[in-house]
Amino acid sequence: MAYGIMFHHFHDAIHPQGQGAISADDLKNLLGALNSADVLDAPVWLEKAMAGTLEPHHRCLTFDDALLCQYDIALPVLKQFGKKAFWFIYSSIFQGNLEPLELYRYFRTVAFATIDDFYLDFFAMVTTHYPAYKPHITSDVAVNYLADFSFYTRNDRIFRHLRDEILTTEAYAQLMTEMMAAHHFDTKRAVSQLWMNPDHLVALHQDGHIIGLHSNSHPTRLGRLPPEQQLQEYVANTTHLERLLGVSPCTMAHPCNSYNPDTLRILQSLGVKIGFRSNRAEVEQRTLLEMPREDHINLLSAQDYQPQ
């Protein structure tokens, strides 16, 4: 089945090498290993998807989350290969709001020599502030958390278990705020390094790329929100992009792959024609709002995509 290739973070001399980030050369290798004719420009993919004429070998390129590193590092490679991509944009960051997950990731990357240095600091903070949680740093449940994902390290698991199962959202945010202050982390500067600005979106649109929806505030569990709140998320996102680009977005990607039947109904009512999931898992009665994607990480590690 045809699918989109999903990209997030890129690194170079300016943009730091966080977990999962790839370089311009990695992207060149990946694109170079594909048959160029199989990689459709976004407008061609859209047209074929709607006409039902996509073929199993067809691919498209998708970039989520309005990250500046994509514009700075991936876009020149796309130019070199003459490819137009989909860019799925969430809007709240353009209204001056921060998206904590992305900001924390950046902090972990730039303020510590290794991710384990961050984890050790974080575990020490938890032990100091919440002595009762100390057993969760060595418990069997913690070290076996997310066992289905083989690529996580022991510390990755302990950290995610603490963050997602033990600490409240507020307590976690409090700890991170305190750590960022202790490291004199410059949030304003981080924001300007992390995300694109409106001019970048306009330039992409004018260059023939397709800008699509990705919700307003990028909730991690959008599919669990009441329908009214989901509607708000996508109306705000649509309004922002419409005002900026002068056209109504008709493509989208589900943030964190989270949606439910209400979401699909809402997207349809807003005139969205195609949408993307974040994996290639089987879907019962797949609609055009649930097209598959593959994370580039899985392609880079697959034999098929090793450079010659």
Token pair 């699909």 is found at 264
Nearer to Zn ion, 126 or 230 (CB): 230
Q: How far apart, in Å, are the Cα atoms of 291 and each of 52, 73, 216, 234, 280?
A: 12, 26, 21, 18, 8
How many residues are listed for the chain in this entry?
308
Write out the H or E segment, with its range, that includes residue 7.
strand 3-7
Q: Nearest distance from residue 13's CB to Zn ion, in Å?
A: 25
Q: Nearest distance from residue 291's CB to Zn ion, in Å?
A: 16
Nearer to Zn ion, 106 or 122 (CB): 106
Quick one: three-class SS letters along 15-55?
Answer: CCCCCCCECHHHHHHHHHHCCHHHECCHHHHHHHHHHCCCC
Q: Nearest distance from residue 64's CB to Zn ion, in Å?
A: 4
Binding site for Zn ion (CB under 5 A): 64-65, 255
Nearer to Zn ion, 73 or 253 (CB): 253
The C-alpha angle 250, 204, 75, rounded to 5 degrees, equals 120
Residue nearest to Zn ion (CB): 64
Q: Nearest distance from residue 255's CB to Zn ion, in Å?
A: 5
Write out the H or E segment, with its range, that includes residue 213.
strand 210-213
Q: How far apart, in Å, are the Cα atoms of 112 and each of 84, 103, 117?
A: 35, 14, 6
DSSP 8-state secondary structure symbol assigned to residue 56: T
Q: Nearest distance from residue 219's CB to Zn ion, in Å?
A: 10
User: What whole-number distance in Å separates Cα of residue 283 and Cα of residue 297?
Assistant: 22
Nearer to Zn ion, 41 or 65 (CB): 65
Q: Nearest distance from residue 299's CB to Zn ion, in Å?
A: 18
